[in-house]
Amino acid sequence: MRAFPLILRAVAEPPARALCTTGGIAGSALLVLVLLASHRSLSTAARTYVSQPGVQLWVAPLGTDNVVRSSALLAEGMPDSVAAIPGIIAADPIVRGFVTVEPQTVEGAVGVQLTLLGIGSIPGRAGGIPPTALRLGRAPQRRGEVALDRAAAFRLHVGVGDSVLANGRSFRVVGLTSGTNLLATQFAFFDLASARKSLGLPDRVSFLALSLDAGAEAGEVARTIEERFDAVAVHTQERFLANNVREVSAGVLPIIAVIAALGMVVAAILVLLLVQGTVEEQRRELAALRAIGVGGSMSAALMLRAALLALIGVGAGGAASLGLARLLDRVLPTVLLSPLPVDLLRTSVAFVAVAVLASLLPLARLRRMDPLEAFRQ
Amino acid sequence: MIPLEMTSVCRTRGRGAHAVQAVRNITLRVDPGEVVLLRGPSGSGKTTLLALAAGLLAADAGTVTVAGLRLDRATESARRQLRQRAVGLVFQRGGLASHLSARDNVRLMAELAGHPARESRRQADLLLESLGVGHRAAQRPQELSGGEEMRVAVARALVHRPMLVLADEPTANLDSVSGAQVAECLARAAKLQGAAVVIATHDDRLLRIADRDLGLTDGVLGVPLLRSYG
């Protein structure tokens, strides 16, 4: 393929059309990347809370396998009974429930109301704000304090030091968290006692987060708990994490897949039109190149150009998605995008494959071209 | 080795009611250094004959042998390699790649023939210089005049020192000066490189460089022509 670099240049598209196609591909790639990034944000939010340091097992009511959707509660007195089982260092109680939060304004003023996923835990113990999530301020340490997800705080127009009403009770905002936005709702962190009171659940807990001895075998401990207590399910940290990710993303995945597929189809059509246009408009030139002995490398060159344009388009779309993520983080934190290099890599591979496939149809026409076209005036 | 030998070659173009026998029972031999003109009216089969000689079309009957290779027995790949190494083609409109400079158009042919990139560039520059378009080497075809473009096309056809040069109406769109220059280039290729040159043309001006002048009428090769078809 000695002459390939020259052939690659010889079959170039008109620059303006190549630019338009690249722009179109960049737009499609941006759409796909934003969808992937928003999906990534959802699963990140589900992971962030469940990734509690030092926790190996989660005890939940039977039938409840995630934090996001659950209604049942564990039996009264269970935390102490579970903590007494050999191999368990700590069984930290967690209460969860939906709370209506609004800014505490002057009487009579109507503010924004949000329904947030309230989490109550013992300050300093497992089940509270994971260290990676605290963005500003501190975790609640006593009654009357709350830490809000920053997107929720943005929508409520409150910040650290402001007061909010949660189920009608007054709380002071002491911290803001990130990575805790589930889009449909956001996390709000309370101390255990405040949460119980606000949710009307005295002496009850939703989950237990278990920390085990270094020598304890998690499976054995889980079996012991399930044998000893009725209507209880014990999940490993990994399983519980996967359950939460599934719960938040299962509903949106089909929509994301459909829109991403549409983006791919648009990119494929653009590439097809570009290659088709090149083949049609430069018929005589391409026929002459074939006549002088340029063979399959001409098709390879056209295909490579289509792949390169797709790659440039995805690169531009990727850069735009990073810029958009940063911009949204600053001006509109309710829309959370977390683009990752792996998403860019997968999108690049998919778009290049689509571009190559899309170029096959016009290339088939090129192969059927009458060699005498080169001689025709 | 004989650059071109055709024996009893026939070729039909089109199908069914539209089928036309473009070339009928043609026997032709062109020796090294010889310039042969093929003259005839439009549709007489000149271009079909060139395409058969280039291995771009297959003969329905008869044999075509180029530089010792019988084309009917050769694979597509072998015919392509033959065009890369032993055949030079000049098209009526030049047929140059519009995205490449004049130099790169010529280089492309040299590289297709297997010459190293640096050597190809040197050869391209030398040839363009000798054809009087060295100063236009960096220009693209659309930036050249008709005569310059055709001389670049001739350079492309000659750069790999082919045994056989096939030119289709190389002077049709040129003024008399440019036409004479292009004719001179082709004649020089025949004499200096020992190439066999077959030119399909209407142009009487090319008679002065021709060793043989053959007429083609309705696909039949005839005696030297007495009149112009221009």
Q: How confident is the model over B46-67, as a mean pLDDT?
A: 95
Identity of the residue in B77, B95, B98 whose CB atom sits nearest the CB atom of A374: B95
Q: Judge whether B33 is closer than 8 Å to chain A, CB to CB.
A: no
Identity of the residue in A12, A289, A291 whose CB atom sits nearest the CB atom of B54: A291
Q: Which residues touch B124 (CB under 8 Å, ≥6 apart)?
A: B103, B104, B106, B107, B110, B137, B155, B159
| Residue B46 included in any domain | yes
Identity of the residue in B51, B89, B172 whose CB atom sits nearest the CB atom of A292: B89
| Residue B226 included in any domain | no
- For the segment A334-370, what is each residue's pLDDT rounded down to a tens digit? 777 777 788 889 889 999 999 999 999 889 888 888 7
| Residue B182 included in any domain | yes
Q: How confident is the model over B148-172, as a mean pLDDT?
A: 94
Looking at this protein, which amino acid is placed at residue A359?
Answer: S
Identity of the residue in B50, B81, B97 whose CB atom sits nearest the CB atom of A375: B50
Q: Tell me which chain B residues have a C-beta less than 8 angstroms from the C-beta of A371.
A: 51, 56-57
| Residue B228 included in any domain | no
Put simply, the answer to whether B97 touches A285 (Cβ < 8 Å) is: yes
Whole-angstrom distance, CA of residue A329 vs CA of residue A337: 8
Summary mean pLDDT of chain B: 91
| Closest residue in chain B to residue A281, using alpha carbons only | B98
- A43 contacts A245 by C-beta, under 8 angstroms: yes
Query: Domain range for residue B87?
Result: 4-221
3-state secondary structure A195-226: HHHHHCCCCCECEEEEEECCCCCHHHHHHHHH
| Residue B52 included in any domain | yes
Measure A310 CA to nearest chain B CA, in Å: 21
- For the segment A176-226, what is each residue's pLDDT rounded down to a tens digit? 998 888 878 899 999 999 998 888 888 889 999 999 998 889 999 999 999
Q: What is the pLDDT of residue B230?
A: 44
Selected residue with higher pLDDT from B50 and B230? B50
Q: Judge whether B12 is closer than 8 Å to chain A, CB to CB.
A: no
Q: What is the pLDDT of residue B229?
A: 46
Half-sphere exposure of B13 (CA within 13 A, CB side): 18
Put simply, the answer to whether A293 touches B112 (Cβ < 8 Å) is: yes
| Residue B229 included in any domain | no
- For the segment A252-289, what is each residue's pLDDT rounded down to a tens digit? 778 888 888 898 898 889 888 888 888 888 888 999 99
Q: Judge whether B91 is closer than 8 Å to chain A, CB to CB.
A: yes
Q: How confident is the model over A30-37, as a mean pLDDT?
A: 86
Q: Tell me which chain A residues have a C-beta less than 8 angstroms from the C-beta of B83.
A: 291-293
Put simply, the answer to whether B99 touches A2 (Cβ < 8 Å) is: no
CATH number at residue B148: 3.40.50.300
| Residue B100 included in any domain | yes
Put simply, the answer to whether B89 touches A295 (Cβ < 8 Å) is: no
| Residue B37 included in any domain | yes
Q: How confident is the model over A1-16, as a mean pLDDT?
A: 87
- For the segment A66-98, what is each residue's pLDDT rounded down to a tens digit? 888 877 788 778 888 888 999 999 999 999 999
Put simply, the answer to whether B114 touches A2 (Cβ < 8 Å) is: yes
B102 CB burial (10 A radius; 0-12, 13-18, 19+): buried
Q: Percent of chain B at pLDDT above 90?
A: 71
Q: What angle do CA A10, A292, B86 make, to 5 degrees?
A: 140
Q: Judge whether B23 is closer than 8 Å to chain A, CB to CB.
A: no
Asked if ipTM goes beyond 0.85, one says yes
**What total number of domains does chain B contain?**
1
Measure B22 CA to nearest chain A CA, in Å: 13
Of the residues A4, A292, A294, A372, the best mutation for testing chain B's interface (the one with the most B CB atoms within 10 Å of its CB) is A292
